[in-house]
C-alpha cells in the first residue's frame, strides 16, 4: 500500500472547522482538492497531516495557529482616511475591500472600525490567530 510522501500529488476531501464547531471551508459538493504535498501550496499543518496516509484513510487533525495562518500582525492594521473613500461608497464594518501595495500586489482587507475621520482596515488573513480542525479523507495519490 502506497503512503503519501513529500512531492506526491494528492486529491483530498476536507472539512475545516473552528474551535466553536463552525465550518470555514469544505470540499463538500466540489471536486477533491488537488495539490503537491510539501510544496507550500496549503498551510503547513494540512500538508504535514497527509504524510504517511494511504488512499481511503480518514483522519481529524487539530492544527495550531503556528502551523495554520500564524498570529495576526499589528502592522497589518491600517488606518485609512475616510476622505479618501469614493463618495459613492458607504464604509460598513465587516465590508471586504481590495487594496494594492506599492508593487501593485492586490490583497483583501476588512473594515473593522469607523471613526469620524478614518476607517480601520485589517489586512491579516481572516483565519490568523485561530486553531483549525480538519476532517481529511485521502481520495487519490496521482
Tell me, what's the pLDDT at 1? 78
Q: Which of 107, 109, 10, 114 is nearest to 52 (CA)?
A: 10
78, 104, 142 from 137: Cα distances, Å: 39, 38, 15
Helix residue spans in the chain (DSSP H):
44-50
- Tell me the C-alpha distance between 10 and 55, whole Å: 9
CATH 3.40.50.620 describes domain 9-70+127-141: no
Predicted local confidence at residue 52, as pLDDT? 94
Q: What is the pLDDT of residue 119?
A: 95
- Provide CATH 2.40.10.330 ranges for the chain: 74-122
- pLDDT tens for 65-82 read 999 999 999 999 999 999
Angstrom distance (rounded) from CA 83 to CA 27? 41
pLDDT of the residue at 101: 85
Collect the ranges in the chain with pLDDT lower than 50.
none
Question: What CATH fold (topology level) applies to the domain 74-122?
Answer: Thrombin, subunit H (2.40.10)
Identify the pLDDT of residue 14: 98
**Residue 48 per-residue DSSP state:** H
pLDDT of the residue at 87: 87
Q: Tell me the C-alpha distance between 70 and 24, whole Å.
A: 16
Task: Tell me where in the chain the CATH 3.10.50.40 domain(s) lie.
Answer: 9-70+127-141
Amino acid at each position: 500500500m502506497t503512503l503519501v510522501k513529500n512531492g506526491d500529488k494528492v486529491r483530498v476531501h476536507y472539512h475545516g472547522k473552528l474551535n466553536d464547531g463552525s465550518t470555514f471551508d469544505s470540499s463538500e459538493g466540489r471536486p477533491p482538492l488537488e495539490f503537491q504535498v510539501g510544496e507550500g501550496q496549503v498551510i503547513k499543518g494540512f500538508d504535514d497531516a497527509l504524510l504517511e496516509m494511504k488512499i481511503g484513510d480518514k483522519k481529524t487533525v487539530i492544527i495550531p495557529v503556528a502551523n495554520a495562518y500564524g498570529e495576526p500582525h499589528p502592522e497589518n492594521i491600517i488606518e485609512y482616511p475616510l476622505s479618501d473613500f469614493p463618495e459613492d461608497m458607504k464604509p460598513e464594518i465587516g465590508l471586504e475591500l481590495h487594496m494594492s501595495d506599492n508593487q501593485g500586489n492586490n490583497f483583501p482587507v476588512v473594515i473593522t472600525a469607523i471613526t469620524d475621520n478614518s476607517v480601520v482596515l485589517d489586512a491579516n488573513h481572516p483565519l490568523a490567530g485561530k486553531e483549525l480542525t480538519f476532517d481529511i479523507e485521502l481520495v487519490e495519490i496521482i
